[in-house]
Structure 1
Amino acid sequence: MSKDTTASNVPVLHTVHQVRLWREQQRAEDKKVGLVATMGALHEGHLSLVQAAAAQCSSVIVSIFVNPTQFAPHEDLDKYPRTLSDDIQKLSKLPVTVFAPSATEMYPRKQSFVEVLGLSEMLEGVTRPHFFRGVATVVSRLFNIIEPNYAFFGQKDIQQCCVLRALIQDMHYNLKMVVVPTVRDSDGLALSSRNVYLTAEQRARAPAFYRGLCRAQKLFDSGVVDRKTLIDAVKDEAAKADLDIEYVCLSNPNDLKEIDTVDSQGAILSGAWRMGTTRLIDNILIGFEF
């Protein structure tokens, strides 16, 4: 175990062996362990997950690991922000332990992977077919290493939540997943580590997508349930800000298949758009809670 010099009160573990010794101590003290899995560059959205974990669990561990297996060769792995010291400083006032492994520690052989078929192959999986295999693989390894009682994920990455819910069920992991609502800036833009890539002009236009989601929510609340009207509400607001929309989908919350009408199961209204070289995603839950 080591302690970062910028925040000496935060224990930082770097190896699987260290984590397992730590986990045995938590078990001996009958503590419930909550995991918050991150890739670092922490913002208020991440901290809301940590706070939710601390409210439910007697011990919280935050993993900080930029996972290479969820990036395609043409994506931004090399430029993805790595700010471990700053991240630990942001966590210094919270009762947490940090797990910050190396790539070699997490992937000693680089030959074993986990896939959740079906759910991983639509929406985000269409343009990023590698992504959810990488997510499922690294989260499976974190579950096996840490053995948490609870795992906390953000609603902003709603398809990831659906994939991981299926993974937990299919692999019989003995833990409960908790989905925490998206944290937003005052203008509605969902917090994301990639927001730092936006120019001032792009940042000013970016919230239009969420305004479209809110407009669709109001339509649903007034009784509108058809796919076209709800999706057009998002596209219309996005067009006003000249957003480069990649997709907008109204999906069944269980299998993520696109639906024509919102029924008693509710729906996920989600989408992705590009601003220059930056790709952003957002969603709302219609008629159900995760």
Structure 2
Amino acid sequence: MSSAHLPECPIPIFTTVASYREWRRKAFDAKQTVGFVATMGALHEGHLALVKRSLAANDLTVLSIFVNPAQFAPHEDLATYPSTLPRDLESLSAMSLQVKVQGSNEPLTRTPSAVFLPTVSEMYPSGISQDVSLQKGTFVEVKGYGHQMEGQSRPTFLRGVATVVTKLFNAVEPTQTYFGQKDIQQALLLRRMTRDMLLSHPSPDKLHIVPTVRDPASSVALSSRNAYLTPREREVAAPVLHAALQIGKSAWQDGASKQDCVRQACALIMDMAEKLNAFDNEEKINVRLDYVEMNDTESFDVLPDNISRVQWDLEGSEREGRPVILSGAMWVGRTRLIDNIILGDTRKLGIIE
């Protein structure tokens, strides 16, 4: 989108890396910190919660909007991914936060400082195809850690995420950056990537994970893709995923094996799927389980079937006190929902309350 066709916005919008870097250089010269929130647009309260975290902790806050082709397989919803740029810019423009500044009695009002809105050609100068076998150029992989959880269901997804976020970090050069717990696997892998690639902007300790923001009525994790849901799907079917994970969490806390925790969670989803798929009228909702699994937060390996919480957290073991990810995905109509619960001390993952 050219600058001439952008919606009116009081926040500076940069569509090229060169124009953004000129702005960023001034922040470096002024010794101002820059917080960064990477998004694909269609902003919701989850995104805005990340922006608020950045406003509270940084002199300047940058948000990017870029729908990344490299993380969509050829059969996925790139062409129909929600696009609400005017509304997104309006939401950002309305944001402000008063913060206390050391040495001043008066609070300082901070607002979002810039929007990075690059084109596909700007982000992928060598071109990009959703078909990995046809891609040319430089890409980033997180070897040995990306085949579990979302990587099992979407084999090219995490490669695409690692590639685009590396590009965004190189362009934006954030002091600190913020990701949501809803995408816990990618957030933890990106933190690992910043360490492995020796990045300074951000450094691993400056990549923050913020708790999932949920619909207050249904506890459904907020997602841009929730816009695909019909009102009945949103009310009746979507809440089942989080409810199933809660059942798995309770079973884990009560001493059940990992296998039984997953079985109980899956049973709730499959029971609901059977009921809703049985209707032959407008009440029918196609519900399908993708996966429920429990994974190590360090290796992302699937936990052994017979292990329990007490055995996992065995005193003196190398994994003592290490949290576990209980995650799941399900289809509601044409919408794929994901969610997770951290079993254990979330502070050990750097999740900031």
Task: Identify the TM-score tier after normalising by the shorter chain.
Answer: over 0.9
Give, in whole Å, the separation in 2 of the partners of 1:57 and 1:215.
Answer: 39
Residue 101 (structure 1) aligned with residue 133 (structure 2): no
- Give the letter aligned to residue 114 of structure 1: V
Which residue does the alignment assign to 1:238? Answer: 269
User: What 5-or-longer segments of structure 1 have no aligned partner?
Assistant: none
Contact 1:4 1:85 in 2 (8 A): no
SS at match of 2:339: strand
Give, in whole Å, the separation in 1 of the partners of 2:341 and 2:43.
Answer: 22
Matches within 5 A, 1:243-262: 243-260=287-304, 261=307, 262=312
User: What 5-or-longer segments of structure 2 have no aligned partner?
Assistant: 96-110, 128-136, 274-286, 314-320
Contact 1:194 1:278 in 2 (8 A): yes
Q: Deviations over 1:152-199 (max 9, x none)?
A: 101001111122111111001122100010000021100111111112
Give, in whole Å, the separation in 2 of the partners of 1:51 and 1:12.
Answer: 19
Give, in whole Å, the separation in 1 of the partners of 2:122 and 2:195.
Answer: 26
Distance change (3 Å), C-alpha of 1:240 and 1:114: same
1:288 Cα deviation after fit: 2.5
1:16 Cα deviation after fit: 0.3
Matches within 5 A, 1:59-208: 59-94=60-95, 95-96=111-112, 97-110=114-127, 111-174=137-200, 175=202, 176-186=206-216, 187-203=218-234, 204-208=236-240
Contact 2:9 2:89 in 1 (8 A): no
- Give the letter aligned to residue 222 of structure 2: L
Q: Deviations over 1:218-250 (max 9, x none)?
A: 3444x4252023223322332342241111111
Contact 2:65 2:118 in 1 (8 A): yes
254-263 or 103-112, which moves further after superposition?
A: 254-263
193-202 or 228-237, which moves further after superposition?
A: 228-237
Give, in whole Å, the separation in 2 of the partners of 1:117 and 1:254.
Answer: 14
Distance change (3 Å), C-alpha of 1:146 and 1:3: farther
- Give the letter aligned to residue 259 of structure 1: L
What TM-score comes out, normalization by structure 1 length?
A: 0.94
Q: Deviations over 1:31-62 (max 9, x none)?
A: 11111000000001110111111111111100
Give, in whole Å, the separation in 2 of the partners of 1:66 and 1:77.
Answer: 8
Contact 1:114 1:137 in 2 (8 A): yes
Give, in whole Å, the separation in 2 of the partners of 1:216 and 1:184.
Answer: 19
Cα RMSD after superposing both structures = 1.8
What percentage of aligned pairs have identical amino acids? 43
Give, in whole Å, the separation in 2 of the partners of 1:109 and 1:37.
Answer: 22
Give, in whole Å, the separation in 2 of the partners of 1:259 and 1:271.
Answer: 14
Contact 2:148 2:302 in 1 (8 A): no
Give, in whole Å, the separation in 2 of the partners of 1:272 and 1:140.
Answer: 26
Number of residue pairs the alignment of both structures matches: 289
SS at match of 2:21: helix
- Give the letter aligned to residue 119 of structure 2: S
Which residue does the alignment assign to 2:247? Answer: 215
Give, in whole Å, the separation in 2 of the partners of 1:35 and 1:250.
Answer: 30
Contact 2:9 2:90 in 1 (8 A): no
Give, in whole Å, the separation in 2 of the partners of 1:228 and 1:239.
Answer: 16
SS at match of 2:62: strand
Which residue does the alignment assign to 1:45? Answer: 46
- Give the letter aligned to residue 90 of structure 1: S
Give, in whole Å, the separation in 2 of the partners of 1:197 and 1:212.
Answer: 21
What TM-score comes out, normalization by structure 2 length?
A: 0.78
1:3 Cα deviation after fit: 9.6
Give, in whole Å, the separation in 1 of the partners of 2:341 and 2:66.
Answer: 27
253-262 or 151-160, which moves further after superposition?
A: 253-262
Which residue does the alignment assign to 2:332? Answer: 275
242-251 or 36-45, which moves further after superposition?
A: 242-251
1:81 Cα deviation after fit: 1.4
